[in-house]
Structure 1
Protein backbone atom coordinates (compact mmCIF):
# COMPACT_ATOMS: atom_id res chain seq x y z
CA UNK A 1 0.00 0.00 0.00
CA UNK A 2 1.16 3.52 -0.75
CA UNK A 3 1.80 5.76 2.22
CA UNK A 4 0.10 9.04 1.32
CA UNK A 5 1.47 10.84 4.37
CA UNK A 6 4.99 10.30 3.09
CA UNK A 7 4.30 11.23 -0.54
CA UNK A 8 2.39 14.41 0.32
CA UNK A 9 5.30 16.25 1.96
CA UNK A 10 7.59 15.26 -0.88
CA UNK A 11 5.17 16.79 -3.38
CA UNK A 12 4.90 19.94 -1.28
CA UNK A 13 8.69 20.16 -1.10
CA UNK A 14 8.74 20.53 -4.87
CA UNK A 15 7.33 24.01 -4.31
CA UNK A 16 10.83 24.97 -3.19
CA UNK A 17 11.89 24.69 -6.81
CA UNK A 18 9.62 27.57 -7.83
CA UNK A 19 11.89 30.40 -6.60
CA UNK A 20 14.94 28.57 -7.85
CA UNK A 21 13.52 28.21 -11.35
CA UNK A 22 12.16 31.75 -11.32
CA UNK A 23 15.66 33.15 -10.83
CA UNK A 24 17.69 30.50 -12.61
CA UNK A 25 18.22 32.16 -15.99
CA UNK A 26 19.13 35.82 -15.51
CA UNK A 27 18.98 36.32 -19.27
CA UNK A 28 15.18 36.12 -19.09
CA UNK A 29 14.87 39.08 -16.75
CA UNK A 30 18.01 41.07 -17.57
CA UNK A 31 15.97 44.01 -18.83
CA UNK A 32 15.81 47.70 -18.02
CA UNK A 33 12.12 48.07 -18.86
CA UNK A 34 9.52 48.08 -17.40
CA UNK A 35 10.58 50.25 -14.50
CA UNK A 36 8.82 50.21 -11.14
CA UNK A 37 9.37 53.22 -8.88
CA UNK A 38 12.52 53.99 -10.85
CA UNK A 39 13.98 50.50 -10.46
CA UNK A 40 14.80 48.58 -13.65
CA UNK A 41 13.00 45.28 -14.15
CA UNK A 42 16.18 43.35 -13.35
CA UNK A 43 16.20 44.61 -9.76
CA UNK A 44 12.53 44.66 -8.87
CA UNK A 45 11.97 41.21 -10.35
CA UNK A 46 14.61 39.78 -8.02
CA UNK A 47 13.31 41.74 -5.04
CA UNK A 48 9.81 40.48 -5.77
CA UNK A 49 11.07 36.93 -5.28
CA UNK A 50 12.11 37.61 -1.66
CA UNK A 51 8.55 37.65 -0.21
CA UNK A 52 7.47 34.94 -2.65
CA UNK A 53 10.29 32.69 -1.43
CA UNK A 54 9.46 33.42 2.21
CA UNK A 55 5.83 32.48 1.56
CA UNK A 56 6.78 29.26 -0.24
CA UNK A 57 9.15 28.22 2.55
CA UNK A 58 6.42 28.96 5.12
CA UNK A 59 3.92 26.80 3.20
CA UNK A 60 6.38 23.90 3.01
CA UNK A 61 7.31 24.23 6.68
CA UNK A 62 3.66 24.29 7.81
CA UNK A 63 2.85 21.23 5.71
CA UNK A 64 5.64 19.10 7.16
CA UNK A 65 4.97 16.93 10.21
CA UNK A 66 6.88 17.98 13.31
CA UNK A 67 7.62 16.09 16.50
CA UNK A 68 6.77 18.69 19.12
Structure 2
Protein backbone atom coordinates (compact mmCIF):
# COMPACT_ATOMS: atom_id res chain seq x y z
CA UNK A 1 0.00 0.00 0.00
CA UNK A 2 1.04 3.52 -0.64
CA UNK A 3 1.48 6.10 2.10
CA UNK A 4 0.18 8.85 -0.17
CA UNK A 5 -3.13 10.32 1.01
CA UNK A 6 -6.08 9.71 -1.24
CA UNK A 7 -7.37 12.75 -3.08
CA UNK A 8 -11.05 12.91 -2.17
CA UNK A 9 -13.28 15.55 -3.63
CA UNK A 10 -16.05 16.82 -1.45
CA UNK A 11 -19.42 17.15 -3.16
CA UNK A 12 -20.09 20.70 -4.24
CA UNK A 13 -23.59 22.16 -4.32
CA UNK A 14 -23.82 24.96 -6.86
CA UNK A 15 -26.85 26.82 -8.22
CA UNK A 16 -26.43 25.00 -11.55
CA UNK A 17 -26.54 21.63 -9.80
CA UNK A 18 -29.67 22.68 -7.91
CA UNK A 19 -31.34 23.56 -11.22
CA UNK A 20 -30.25 20.18 -12.64
CA UNK A 21 -31.78 18.41 -9.65
CA UNK A 22 -35.02 20.35 -9.99
CA UNK A 23 -35.23 19.49 -13.69
CA UNK A 24 -34.86 15.80 -12.90
CA UNK A 25 -37.17 15.73 -9.87
CA UNK A 26 -40.05 17.77 -11.32
CA UNK A 27 -41.53 14.99 -13.51
CA UNK A 28 -41.47 12.53 -10.60
CA UNK A 29 -43.27 14.93 -8.30
CA UNK A 30 -45.79 15.80 -11.01
CA UNK A 31 -46.62 12.15 -11.67
CA UNK A 32 -46.57 10.92 -8.07
CA UNK A 33 -48.92 13.65 -6.87
CA UNK A 34 -51.96 11.93 -8.35
CA UNK A 35 -54.47 14.03 -6.41
CA UNK A 36 -53.50 17.06 -8.49
CA UNK A 37 -54.66 15.51 -11.76
CA UNK A 38 -57.20 12.82 -10.75
CA UNK A 39 -60.14 14.51 -12.45
CA UNK A 40 -61.91 14.45 -15.79
CA UNK A 41 -62.24 18.17 -16.54
CA UNK A 42 -60.97 19.96 -18.58
CA UNK A 43 -61.38 17.70 -21.57
CA UNK A 44 -58.89 18.16 -24.42
CA UNK A 45 -59.78 16.75 -27.87
CA UNK A 46 -62.13 14.29 -26.20
CA UNK A 47 -59.60 13.03 -23.64
CA UNK A 48 -60.15 13.52 -19.92
CA UNK A 49 -57.60 15.62 -18.03
CA UNK A 50 -56.26 12.52 -16.23
CA UNK A 51 -54.91 11.09 -19.50
CA UNK A 52 -53.75 14.13 -21.43
CA UNK A 53 -51.97 15.57 -18.38
CA UNK A 54 -49.83 12.42 -18.11
CA UNK A 55 -49.17 12.35 -21.85
CA UNK A 56 -48.17 16.03 -21.79
CA UNK A 57 -45.43 15.17 -19.28
CA UNK A 58 -43.69 12.87 -21.78
CA UNK A 59 -42.28 15.72 -23.95
CA UNK A 60 -41.92 17.97 -20.90
CA UNK A 61 -39.82 15.30 -19.16
CA UNK A 62 -37.75 14.86 -22.29
CA UNK A 63 -37.07 18.60 -22.50
CA UNK A 64 -36.19 18.84 -18.79
CA UNK A 65 -33.84 15.87 -19.03
CA UNK A 66 -32.15 17.40 -22.07
CA UNK A 67 -31.74 20.72 -20.24
CA UNK A 68 -30.29 18.92 -17.20
CA UNK A 69 -27.84 17.00 -19.41
CA UNK A 70 -26.65 20.14 -21.20
CA UNK A 71 -26.23 21.99 -17.90
CA UNK A 72 -24.29 19.02 -16.49
CA UNK A 73 -21.99 18.98 -19.52
CA UNK A 74 -21.36 22.71 -19.16
CA UNK A 75 -20.71 22.34 -15.42
CA UNK A 76 -18.24 19.49 -15.95
CA UNK A 77 -16.43 21.40 -18.68
CA UNK A 78 -16.10 24.44 -16.41
CA UNK A 79 -14.80 22.27 -13.56
CA UNK A 80 -12.19 20.64 -15.82
CA UNK A 81 -11.03 24.02 -17.07
CA UNK A 82 -10.91 25.34 -13.50
CA UNK A 83 -8.91 22.33 -12.29
CA UNK A 84 -6.46 22.63 -15.18
CA UNK A 85 -5.33 26.09 -14.12
TM-score (norm 1): 0.77
Gaps of 5+ in 2: 1-11, 78-85
Match of 2:19 among 8, 12, 20: 12
**How many residues matched?**
63
- Larger radius of gyration between Structure 1 and Structure 2: 2
Query: What does 1:19-38 correspond to in 2, within 5 Å?
Result: 19-38=27-46
Match of 1:40 among 48, 53, 61: 48
Deviation at 1:48, TM superposition (A): 0.6
Q: Which runs of 4+ in 1 moved over 6 A?
A: none
Match of 2:70 among 52, 62, 65: 62
Counterpart of 1:34 in 2: which secondary structure? coil
Counterpart of 1:35 in 2: which secondary structure? coil
1:25-58 CA deviation, whole Å, 9 max, x = no partner? 2122111111000000000000010010000000
Gaps of 5+ in 1: none
Counterpart of 1:21 in 2: which secondary structure? helix
